[in-house]
Homo-oligomer: A and B are copies of this chain.
Amino acid sequence: MKILANPIPWPNGHKCAVSLSWDVDVESGLVYRHREATNKRLAARTLVRYDANVAVPRLMEVFKALNIQQTFFVPGWVIDRYPATVDLILEHGHEVGLHGYMHERSNDLSPEKEAEVLERALQAYVKRVGTRPKGWRAPAFAFSDKSLDLLIDAGFDYDSSLMGSDLPSLLKNANGDLVELPIEWTSDDWPQYMHNQDFNFSMPVRASSRAMEVFRAEFDAAWNFGSMWISVWHPFLSGRLSRIQAVIKLIEDIQQRGDVWLTRLDHISSHVRSLMAAGTWQPLVEQLPFHQLNDLD
């Protein structure tokens, strides 16, 4: 039976693509959600600083040992405040995508504010990285109805915030397009591991063995059906000592499975554009803006 309607050819005969992407938020999300209280919430603050102080350096070692390059989304504020973290990621050959300035929920902002925030984030990125970013992930997946226009105008190549497909799709507006590399909360480590009252987010913390049942089911589906799986992990959660072994084991299993293209998101986006240019494969196209909705229309 035809489970995948429009199979994509992956390069070099790979059966599927996997990208382990990480959101390196450090304090930015805490500040954005709990602005006035953040300065006094030292425990939460140290928890997320673990991103920069401990987990990102650890991931660099792990990925180097396993010989993989992956993608890290970083808010502009983190680039400004933790430049050494960004440098470290780049030095190891990983991709740095952009992730707001202060982890703003774009869909809570006015269009003017969203544009201003993006501009500020871009300045931070360009100043430190020296190039413009190819990839965007909306903080909290809060991609707004103005985001596509802004991202296309800013020259992004792809987004990885939406949830409408199992495969890369194409987001179009009147001026251009973005490759969409979709994710979903199922691939996020917050629902598995995050319990922190300072964040007002209290899941029943699971062992990594249980969380990996969820993540591996995503990978297995990608492998079985030839699709793609993108993790949305956070260094301070999945990079914790008690969980890093499960991450390492998963990567080793992926590598031993063979036929898996384990790579950076920008490489997947480039591959999609090559296929489109060659006429080999066409993604699902979503033309934006979507119809405006209200309950009486």
Q: Give CA–CA (A37, B294) in the complex, Å.
A: 10
Residues of B close to A196: CB separation below 8 A? 185
> What DSSP secondary structure best describes chain A's contact surface?
helix
What are 19 pairs between A and B in contact, CB < 8 Å?
A: A1-B65, A2-B61, A32-B295, A38-B293, A42-B107, A42-B145, A43-B143, A46-B165, A50-B164, A50-B165, A77-B295, A141-B198, A191-B203, A204-B204, A205-B214, A207-B213, A217-B242, A221-B242, A225-B241
Q: Which residue of B lies closest to A108 (CB)?
A: B40
- Partner of A35 from B2, B206, B295 at Cβ < 8 Å: B295
Indicate the size class of the contact surface on chain A.
35 or more
A42 touches B293 (CB 8 A): no
A83-126 CB contact bits vs B (8 Å, 1 = yes)?
A: 00000000000000000001010011000000000000000000
Q: Which residue of B lies closest to A222 (CB)?
A: B241
User: Does A210 lie at the interface of the complex (its beta carbon under 8 Å from any beta carbon of B)?
Assistant: yes
Q: Give CA–CA (A162, B242) in the complex, Å.
A: 17
B197 touches A193 (CB 8 A): no
Q: Which 5 A-B pairs have the closest CB atoms?
A: A46-B164, A1-B65, A47-B163, A207-B213, A40-B107
Q: Which residue of B lies closest to A290 (CB)?
A: B45
B241 touches A39 (CB 8 A): no
Q: Which residue of B lies closest to A117 (CB)?
A: B295
Say which one of A7-15, A52-60, A255-263, A270-278 lies at the interface with B.
Answer: A52-60
Q: Which residue of B lies closest to A291 (CB)?
A: B81
B58 touches A5 (CB 8 A): yes
Residues of B close to A66: CB separation below 8 A? 1
A207-233 CB contact bits vs B (8 Å, 1 = yes)?
A: 111100110111011101101000000
Q: Which residue of B lies closest to A62 (CB)?
A: B1
User: Does A182 lie at the interface of the complex (its beta carbon under 8 Å from any beta carbon of B)?
Assistant: yes
